[in-house]
Amino acid sequence: MKRLEKLYAGDYLRDKYDITIQKAVVEDHRPKHFHDFIEIAYIASGSGSHTVNDQEFRIAKGDLFILGKNTVHEFQADRETELLVYNCIFQPDFIEGSLGRDDEFVQLIYRYLIQSAGNFDSRNGYLKLTGTPSQEIEQIFEEMFEEYEKREIGYIHLIRSDLVKLMIRVFRQQGKLSPDSQGPSALNRLMVQNTIEYMEEHYAGEIQVGDLASKYYLSPSYFSRIFKDVTGTTLVAMLQSIRIQKACELLKSTSRSVTEIAYDVGYQDMKYFYGLFRKQKGTSPKQYKKTHMTITENEEDQKVQDTPIK
Is residue 207 located within the same domain as residue 79? no
Do 20 and 141 belong to one domain? Answer: yes
190 and 176 in a common domain = no
Residues 151 and 202 in one domain: no
145 and 276, same structural domain? no
Say if residue 130 is in the same domain as residue 265.
no
pLDDT digits (tens, 9 = 90+) for 223-244: 899 899 989 999 999 999 999 9
- Which CATH number does the domain housing residue 127 bear? 2.60.120.280
Query: pLDDT tens, 76-117?
Result: 999 888 999 999 999 888 876 666 555 677 767 776 676 666
Count structural domains, the chain: 3
pLDDT tens profile 207-217: 999 989 887 76
**Cα separation, 110 vs 105, whole angstroms:** 9
- 149 shares a domain with 48: yes
Range of the domain at 214: 184-232
How many other β-carbons are positioned within 10 Å of the β-carbon of residue 82? 15
Mean pLDDT, residues 31-45: 92
